Structure 1
Amino acid sequence: MSTKAGIFRRYPELTAARHKDVPANGIPEFCVYLALSMLLHAALLGDWTFEVDDQFYALVGHRLTEEARLYVDIWDRKGPVLYYLYALFAWIWDSPVCYQLAATLFCAVGATVVQGIAVKLADRRGAFLAGISYLLLSFQFGGANGQSVVFYEPMLAICVWSVVSRIDVVREGRVDLPLVGGFFAAGLALMCKQSAAFEAIFFGAAYCAIGWHAGAPLPRIVRSSMVLAIVGAAPLLTFAFGFWFAGYFDPFWHALVGSNLERQYMGAHERLSRLPAVLTVMALPTGVALLGWLRLRRNDQGRVTVRLVSGWLGAAAFAILLYPNIFEFYLMALVPALCVMASGLYEQGRVGLLALAGLATSILPFSSALDVPARIRARAASAELVNYVRKEKGQGGLFVAGQLSYLYVLTGSLPPSRLVFVSHLFDMTEASAIGRNQLAEVHRILAQRPGTVVRQVPLQGSPLNDRAVALLDSYLDGCAKRRRFTLYDQYGAQEQVVYSQCGRGRSGQAEP
């Protein structure tokens, strides 16, 4: 008997993971999901202006490849894993196409993991369609380009998959390599977005509850849960020690924790005003999931998995409700669990196909990401802007006062401040959280006499720092040339004005 065969005979659970879960459940489906994901994302390849956040993430990643210090030389409150992922993308290929292809791949991985969870509850057809629905819904809730949620939601789903695929091991209160890998993935998700902590904590509690309910010895459950807790916390502890060792723990802690406690958030009135839109976009996927859940809950063999997925959905919803702000892409946290639940309906022949078709027709015809003529127009408009700024910026430096932060990369310009994202400089809700005085920082930037300024009209912020905006506009009055461009993001036309030959007088003449 070979040593390899002896290992798998001694640890039969590894044989199950090796021969059942991985090869049998995923590879053909992954190929289909990847092809469909490519089809959905194809129109956006190279269109860097479609979304605001991924531009900034890509800029930070680019700066990290130039040895900039995260949270010191360039600042934001997202976790370091997200930015080092974008640094990896920039190192591989310094083009928006690279992170867009990576997002395409992560969407396919997420769909495959959802299918791997759903196949524990529904038949293969229902599980496969659940993965398709994940692609559709992720496309609607931030997955069209490079939002952070595209990258960390599959990591959380992997943790759930590790539990449901190793349910016998969990019931015995034991730990094996797939579980360790799953909880490490949850820890990586936490270091992409801090709100993932609610789901990660739930996964740990669910592990303990399943083992306790199955009669596993309490000391074994405690030991195993401590191992998983340490594994899940490993990414956080590693980065915390790394920043402490480098002498930058305070900026690290302020970015991930302090700034989130100090910033202002939406008022109750604004949150309530967004509620109808949230309920509208979630009505159909929630209804499909509810119908699927009503069928799955009658499955005695999958009852533990149904409860786990239901709790996962509850933890994700709790995190959304607890957070004082709400944006549409936040709802992506609900998508994986909803799709798994919906598999109970998707396995019902024509009814399931009709449900999926209804979901597709509620999303695809209204997606600006699939408007090919608009995306062609957007790429042409952005190329014209980039060429103009390259020609005009000269030796005076560039300041982007708006959402086009990736313009620094495309024009080979160094950002004039560690605060690059437009809301950090001009949105009053960020004034108490960025670690610097907004007005003083804008004054410091303008004191460098940037020769070219790209100003969005109007600037985005609610409310805006009027004194900082007035200071900017006073400086722009001294620019000799200006030219207006219309760019096209996911919401439509956005106006950008390029001011050049600044600081040389106050002619203010507009260029036709």
Structure 2
Amino acid sequence: MPMPRWVMLFAVALLVRALTFGNPILHVDEEFYFATAQAIAHGAIPYVDVWDRKPVGLFLLYVPAAALGLPLGIWAYQALALASVTATATLIARLADRAGWAKGALPAAIAYLLWLNLLEGEGGQTPVFYNLLMVSAASLLAPRPDDAAQARRRFVQGCAALALVGLALQIKYTVVFEGLFFGLWWMWREWRLGQRWWRVALLAVPLAALAALPTLAALAWFWAHGHGDAFVYANFASIGARGGDPITHELGNLALMLLILSPLIAMAILAARCPSTEATRWPLRRWLFGWAIVAGLGVLVFRGYFDHYALPLLVPLCVCAAGFFAQHYRAIRVRAPLLIVVLLASQVVLLVKRHERGTPAQFAAITRSIGHGPGCLYVFSGSPMLYPMADRCMLTRYRFPRHIGQARERGAIGADQQSELERILALRPAVVVLGARYRGERAELRALFERYVAAHYRQRADLPLGGSRIAVYALR
């Protein structure tokens, strides 16, 4: 009996992510998600007691793992991420089967697992989770040969697909472009199949409502508890208020992103040019290529172009790449060498990041130097994971250090950065942490912090963390 495909994909995912398991400092974003979720598990109210502009659904996703404490919670969220990427890869393979690319389904699904590591997806970045929701929605919504005769199925699956999009929106709002593509395409298909325009519009109302429902439910909860303004500002207004990086930095990030994605893009283009005699497969294939294009436009619109912004593109690109693996005349010679090279590169990338960002042992040493109390902790720059690791009280709702220290956040966090820093220091935290300078940091705020520390604190430790050092100071 052949091994089930999902088992093979789970084994590959386990292999390529093994170096990450148990590491609490894979990426600063998920460190903050965990820290925020732990605060919520202990009663903190998002946007009020702990601030960020991410949807609340993301933090609720992390809450069960964070509630387990440390170190078990780290293993728990990484296990959830492992299950998520395995399921996503399995659905990528099934979509490839439906498109008539069965021979390329398994290598395309494996490619997804490998490319994650090249784009900061080795842990619990947001697309690791919402990609599963979006590929599930795509599997429900994508065209089938018998759609014309299945009006009820089209409606029910459309509702289910847009409900999944709604859940994905509560993990990251950037899925809105793919969600619009799904919804507008559903409406277009209904019209092409003979529905009158007014009936299409009427039928689309419950789909749109289902997509909006999770966000509206979150807003209603915060409004009912007197925090509606905080929710609206954090989730929407603050996004537009945030500044951007210099255009040269953004273009450099975009060039690197395109370089990493270039093999998948090339395979998708070649797949689109492969001839096919299976006319019934082309509607689905065109739909998949369209999805990839819309996902790419969504990445371009949101700018920034950090590596992990490209993670949503991996799903449609890998499905389309299955067409290359299945049909292109060079695929047999290229397939195995390409996947082996990317596998090796993915492991090299993980080792380099571990060297640059630090090891769990180094991080544990910093945590020991901070100690567990009494007295509060303030991290001016460094890992937000220090808050749950040290388990000390906190004096600010801005637990992501760059919200206070980064220039692009000036005027976008609902408080004046310098005033908030001065307020924190006036409360005399027992321990403060100062990490290395970073690009985009407000130099005048660092200077203010360093002057205050020199006057009122003594250095307790200066320890390495990967390629930088972390200084810990205790109140005199």
TM over 0.5: yes
- The one-letter code of the counterpart of 1:104 is L
Show the counterpart of 1:386: 367
Residue 409 of structure 2 is aligned to residue 430 of structure 1: yes
Per-residue CA deviations over 1:143-185 (Å, capped at 9, x if unaligned) read: 1011111111221111111112766447755445443332211
| Match among 26, 30, 33 for residue 6 of structure 2 | 30
Residue 91 of structure 2 is aligned to residue 113 of structure 1: yes
Residue 415 of structure 2 is aligned to residue 415 of structure 1: no
| Distance change >3 Å, CA 85–CA 270, structure 1 → 2 | same
Where do residues 91-490 of structure 1 align in structure 2 (5 Å cutoff)?
Answer: 91-92=67-68, 94=70, 95-164=73-142, 168-169=146-147, 173-174=151-152, 175-295=154-274, 299-348=278-327, 351-352=331-332, 354-355=334-335, 357-362=337-342, 364-365=344-345, 367-368=347-348, 370-371=350-351, 378-390=359-371, 394-458=373-437, 460-462=438-440, 464-477=441-454, 478-488=456-466
Q: What SS does structure 1 have at the residue aligned with 2:394?
A: coil
Residues 118 and 349 of structure 2 are in contact (CA less than 8 Å); yes or no, is this contact kept in structure 1? Answer: no
| Distance change >3 Å, CA 286–CA 63, structure 1 → 2 | same
CA distance in 1, matches of 2:129, 2:181: 20
Question: 1:250: Cα distance to partner?
Answer: 0.8
Per-residue CA deviations over 1:37-86 (Å, capped at 9, x if unaligned) read: 12222211111122110000000110111110011100111111111001
Residues 97 and 105 of structure 2 are in contact (CA less than 8 Å); yes or no, is this contact kept in structure 1? Answer: yes
Q: What SS does structure 2 have at the residue aligned with 1:400?
A: strand
Show the counterpart of 1:510: none
| Match among 82, 106, 119 for residue 58 of structure 2 | 82
Residues 142 and 150 of structure 1 are in contact (CA less than 8 Å); yes or no, is this contact kept in structure 2? Answer: no
Question: 1:141: Cα distance to partner?
Answer: 1.8
| Distance change >3 Å, CA 272–CA 475, structure 1 → 2 | same
Residues 375 and 393 of structure 2 are in contact (CA less than 8 Å); yes or no, is this contact kept in structure 1? Answer: no
TM superposition score normalised by structure 2: 0.92
Question: 1:360: Cα distance to partner?
Answer: 4.2
Show the counterpart of 1:498: 472
CA distance in 2, matches of 1:366, 1:222: 46
- The one-letter code of the counterpart of 2:221 is G
CA distance in 2, matches of 1:301, 1:181: 24
Q: Which moved more, 1:172-181 or 1:281-290?
A: 172-181
Identical aligned residues as a percent:
27
Q: What SS does structure 1 have at the residue aligned with 2:274?
A: helix
- The one-letter code of the counterpart of 1:454 is V
| Distance change >3 Å, CA 177–CA 214, structure 1 → 2 | closer
Show the counterpart of 2:25: 49
| Distance change >3 Å, CA 360–CA 226, structure 1 → 2 | farther
Higher relative contact order (CA 8 A, sep 6+): 2
Q: Which moved more, 1:393-402 or 1:423-432?
A: 393-402
- The one-letter code of the counterpart of 2:443 is D
CA distance in 1, matches of 2:375, 2:411: 30
Equivalences, count: 468
CA distance in 1, matches of 2:273, 2:113: 23
Q: Which moved more, 1:185-194 or 1:123-132?
A: 123-132
Residues 140 and 363 of structure 1 are in contact (CA less than 8 Å); yes or no, is this contact kept in structure 2? Answer: no
| Distance change >3 Å, CA 171–CA 312, structure 1 → 2 | farther
User: Runs of 5+ in structure 1 lacking a partner?
Assistant: 1-26, 505-512
Question: 1:125: Cα distance to partner?
Answer: 3.0
Residues 381 and 405 of structure 2 are in contact (CA less than 8 Å); yes or no, is this contact kept in structure 1? Answer: no
| Distance change >3 Å, CA 71–CA 48, structure 1 → 2 | same
- The one-letter code of the counterpart of 2:341 is T
Question: 1:414: Cα distance to partner?
Answer: 2.6
Q: What SS does structure 2 have at the residue aligned with 1:498?
A: strand
Question: 1:418: Cα distance to partner?
Answer: 0.6
CA distance in 2, matches of 1:210, 1:303: 15
| Distance change >3 Å, CA 461–CA 247, structure 1 → 2 | farther
Q: What SS does structure 2 have at the residue aligned with 1:480?
A: strand
- The one-letter code of the counterpart of 1:35 is A
Residues 92 and 109 of structure 2 are in contact (CA less than 8 Å); yes or no, is this contact kept in structure 1? Answer: yes
Q: Which moved more, 1:72-81 or 1:285-294?
A: 285-294
| Distance change >3 Å, CA 496–CA 264, structure 1 → 2 | same
Residues 373 and 392 of structure 2 are in contact (CA less than 8 Å); yes or no, is this contact kept in structure 1? Answer: no
| Distance change >3 Å, CA 352–CA 200, structure 1 → 2 | farther
CA distance in 1, matches of 2:277, 2:31: 46
Q: What SS does structure 1 have at the residue aligned with 2:98?
A: coil
CA distance in 2, matches of 1:135, 1:347: 18
Show the counterpart of 1:22: none
Per-residue CA deviations over 1:458-505 (Å, capped at 9, x if unaligned) read: 2x241x2233212210122132233211123xxxx23211112x2x2x
CA distance in 2, matches of 1:382, 1:59: 15
- The one-letter code of the counterpart of 2:378 is F
Residues 107 and 143 of structure 1 are in contact (CA less than 8 Å); yes or no, is this contact kept in structure 2? Answer: no
Q: What SS does structure 2 have at the residue aligned with 1:119?
A: helix
CA distance in 2, matches of 1:199, 1:484: 46
Q: Which moved more, 1:368-377 or 1:66-75?
A: 368-377
| Distance change >3 Å, CA 298–CA 83, structure 1 → 2 | farther
Q: Which moved more, 1:56-65 or 1:325-334?
A: 325-334
Residue 39 of structure 2 is aligned to residue 63 of structure 1: yes
